[in-house]
Amino acid sequence: MDFDAKIPDGPIEDKWTGHLESIRLVGPRNRPKYKVIVVGSGLSGGASAASLAAMGYNVHCFCFQDSPRRAHSIAAQGGINAAKNYRNDGDSVFRLFMDTQKGGDYRAREANVYRLAECSAGIIDQAVAQGVPFAREYGGMLANRSFGGVLVQRTFYCRGETGQQLLLGANSSLAEQIRNGNVQMHTRSEMMDLVVVDGRARGIVYRDLITGEVRSESADAVVLATGGYCNVYFLSTNAKGCNVTAIWRAYKRGAAMANPNFVQIHPTCIPASGDHQAKLTLMSESLRNDGRIWVPKNQDDQRLPSDIPEDERYYYLEERYPRFGNLVPRDVAARNAKDVCDSGMGVGSTGYGVYLDFRDAIRDQGQKVVNAKYANLFEMYERITADDPRQTPMRIYPAPHYTMGGLWVDYNLMTTIPGLFAVGEANFSDHGANRLGASSLMQCLADGYFVLPATIGNYLSRHPSGEIKSDDQRFKEVENEVRDGLLKLMSIKGKRSASSLHRQLGKLMIDHCGISRNQEGLEQAIGKIPQMKEEFWNNLSVPGSDDQVNQSLEHAGRLSDFYDFAELMCRDALHRDESCGCHFREEHQTAEGEALRNDEKFANVSAWQYRGDNREAELYQEPLEFEAAPLAQRNYKT
């Protein structure tokens, strides 16, 4: 397996431009001869498909929703980072790079992170050109706010619906390419497997979710833009359809999986209120610009928040991290919320909640100003909880939100399977052990608008186009395997729904591989997952049939992959015997309870390689180098 990250030589600030000038190109007249499959139509997939088609490639784009516009990216709320320095507060490409590296606790590749910061400003220009209605100052200048882990204001936003507006922008470009015949859009189509021929990715097998038919599409390259796998926890802030299937099945065909245990547990979500819930709701991090987080100083204090006097409130982030206050990075905020709740200071019926309070912001800025920034988030909160956050503080608690792990990719975003690329949340590339807020949209669009369109040509130009078709025997073989897998799920005819089995797996994962982990818990989880998997394969019930719309069957297929993936996550977390970013191993903490890295042993990327269903995956460790941003202990206190 080729683990060469292909990082260009030279100083960090010249790597990307030097690479662009030296990589091979496909000429405009040859591009239509190359067919590229893009699986996913969220921000990374939509931007990739639109950009590749605009360059002239023949693109086929797949998604399981009924419209590309309904990809999960539409849920993104708070904003997108870019080093424009519009606020003149000292921002720069280098500072964005440094913040991201430090935020990720030095577990990301420097060269990729620097390129991300470099591309960031162009994304805003592109989005503005598409008509994305970013918030503006009175004079017309684009407005900015702060997100956690930074001391500048570099986050561009469209109130609390930035993802939706950016997706409308990307989709307007995609729609134009569909209309011009350069993109063939396959909605309600789920990729079930990858077809690798002679060591190269040559297409996919997919299921038509309306008719149940299993079909193939061949191509010269395949791009996976299939998002994150947070739903391994069952309860998360992600859309219900988010899953690991596409990247997991690519893994089983030879693509290495990197840092699967790196999962972001977001500090500000509406707490779970019981066992009936199927989903959790995010309250955007942008709220921490003005909202103050606190708990009662007294344990088990049952008074209304308004009855608790100022000197009996514990503004724990402001006290523990005076320099960053409520805007510490997510991993730090989440751990501290758990800590105060574990100490008995939590609020709400379960005791696992903290207050996010807008009283002071409304007093200082006025209701109108605060409303202008957050009204839709306030309304969303009120609709769910029946409490108006303008009158009473929000109650929040951490929940699984984003996955930094994903398919291993080199600097060109190519996986270990030649011709298979991964972009957006589906790859592992830019956020290390913790993603800073507003950095995912930036990565999705950097990958889709700027990086992939340049690097894919470097691969395609080395291969003749189109010499394989989907009626090839090798496609038929994979199709048959997929059909057999579906029949197996249908034929179990047990008693338990995919939802009930999934909830059980999710509970195990959040308890043992969630906000904090330890050796004993991880070993327990690794022992229990195979038993849960056995229960699934013996007692699953899938109603209906496989030749019609069948969401239970879709769920069951995705869950079958989550079992194996969950086990790999736990093995990865067990192997990484250090704390870093979101990966908090209780055995490794500083005297002040912060994550304690072991750079000597773990300043690397864990990349796992599949070796068969009954064998443990093999681990390769890609060493990370720190030239531009030397390793340092993260400090958000002083």
Ligand X SMILES: Cc1cc2nc3c(=O)[nH]c(=O)nc-3n(C[C@H](O)[C@H](O)[C@H](O)COP(=O)(O)OP(=O)(O)OC[C@H]3O[C@@H](n4cnc5c(N)ncnc54)[C@H](O)[C@@H]3O)c2cc1C
Span interacting with ligand X, options 62-70, 301-309, 376-384, 536-544, rule CB under 6 A: 62-70
Span interacting with ligand X, options 34-42, 270-278, 304-312, 414-422, rule CB under 6 A: 34-42
Shortest distance, position 545 Cβ to ligand X, whole Å: 21
* Residue of the chain from 5, 26, 43, 456 that contacts ligand X (CB under 6 A): 43
Shortest distance, position 111 Cβ to ligand X, whole Å: 21
Shortest distance, position 206 Cβ to ligand X, whole Å: 7
Shortest distance, position 381 Cβ to ligand X, whole Å: 13
**Which residue number, 206 or 316, has a Cβ lying nearer to ligand X?**
206
Q: Cα–Cα distances in Å, from 44 out to 121, 196, 221, 426, 442? A: 17, 23, 16, 9, 10
Span interacting with ligand X, options 35-43, 113-121, 251-259, 303-311, rule CB under 6 A: 35-43
Asked whether the beta carbons of 398 and 237 are under 8 A apart, the reply is: no
Asked whether the beta carbons of 63 and 189 are under 8 A apart, the reply is: yes
Strands (DSSP E) contained in 4-138 are 35-39, 58-62, 80-81
Shortest distance, position 63 Cβ to ligand X, whole Å: 3
**Which residue number, 269 or 509, has a Cβ lying nearer to ligand X?**
269
Kindly write out the interface string for residues 210-249 of this chain, putting x where it contacts ligand X by CB under 6 A and - elsewhere: ---------------xxxx--------xx---xx-xx---
Q: Does 191 bind ligand X (CB under 6 A)?
A: yes
Catalytic annotation present for 330: yes
Task: Report how far residue 199's alpha carbon sits from residue 452's, in angstroms, rounded to the nearest whole number.
Answer: 21
Identity of residue 386: A
Residues 379-438 that bind ligand X (CB under 6 A): 401-402, 424-426, 438
Q: Does 77 bind ligand X (CB under 6 A)?
A: yes
* Residue of the chain from 31, 52, 79, 102 that contacts ligand X (CB under 6 A): 79
Any idea what the Cα angle at residue 402 is, between residues 242 and 635, rounded to 5°?
Answer: 175
Residue nearest to ligand X as judged by C-beta position: 42
Distance from the Cα of residue 210 to its chain's centroid: 28
Place of tokens 């440094």: 98
Asked whether the beta carbons of 223 and 37 are under 8 A apart, the reply is: yes
Q: Does 574 bind ligand X (CB under 6 A)?
A: no
Phi, psi of 263 (to 5 degrees): -125, 135
* Active-site residue, from 95, 288, 330, 395: 330
Asked whether the beta carbons of 219 and 203 are under 8 A apart, the reply is: yes
Shortest distance, position 75 Cβ to ligand X, whole Å: 4
* Residue of the chain from 51, 58, 65, 216 that contacts ligand X (CB under 6 A): 65
Shortest distance, position 47 Cβ to ligand X, whole Å: 8
Asked whether the beta carbons of 313 and 294 are under 8 A apart, the reply is: yes
Q: Please, what is the angle between helix 498-512 and helix 519-539, to 10°? A: 170
* Residue of the chain from 16, 57, 62, 563 that contacts ligand X (CB under 6 A): 62
Task: Please enumerate in sequence order all residues whose Cβ is within 8 A of that of 584, keeping only pairs 6 or more positions apart, or say none.
Answer: 331, 335, 515, 516, 517, 595
Shortest distance, position 77 Cβ to ligand X, whole Å: 4
Phi, psi of 380 (to 5 degrees): -60, -45
Q: Does 440 bind ligand X (CB under 6 A)?
A: yes
Residues 146-165 that bind ligand X (CB under 6 A): 162-163
**Which residue number, 53 or 295, has a Cβ lying nearer to ligand X?**
53
Asked whether the CA dihedral 84, 90, 95, 99 is positive or negative, the reply is: negative
**Which residue number, 201 or 522, has a Cβ lying nearer to ligand X?**
201
Longest CA–CA separation in the chain, Å: 74
Identity of residue 465: S
Task: Report how far residue 508's alpha carbon sits from residue 234's, in angstroms, rounded to the nearest whole number.
Answer: 10
**Which residue number, 389 or 400, has a Cβ lying nearer to ligand X?**
400
Q: 496: which strand partners?
A: 540
Place of tokens 């007249």: 29
Q: Cα–Cα distances in Å, from 527 out to 508, 522, 537, 570? A: 11, 9, 17, 10
* Residue of the chain from 71, 116, 422, 498 that contacts ligand X (CB under 6 A): 71
For residue 156, give the 3-state DSSP assignment. strand
**Which residue number, 161 or 594, has a Cβ lying nearer to ligand X?**
161
Shortest distance, position 334 Cβ to ligand X, whole Å: 15
Kindly write out the interface string for residues 478-517 of this chain, putting x where it contacts ligand X by CB under 6 A and - elsewhere: ----------------------------------------
Q: What is the DSSP letter of 257?
A: E
* Residue of the chain from 75, 135, 468, 492 that contacts ligand X (CB under 6 A): 75
Annotated catalytic residues are 330
Interface residues toward ligand X, by CB under 6 A = 39-45, 62-65, 71-73, 75-80, 162-163, 190-191, 225-228, 237-238, 242-243, 245-246, 282, 401-402, 424-426, 438-441, 444
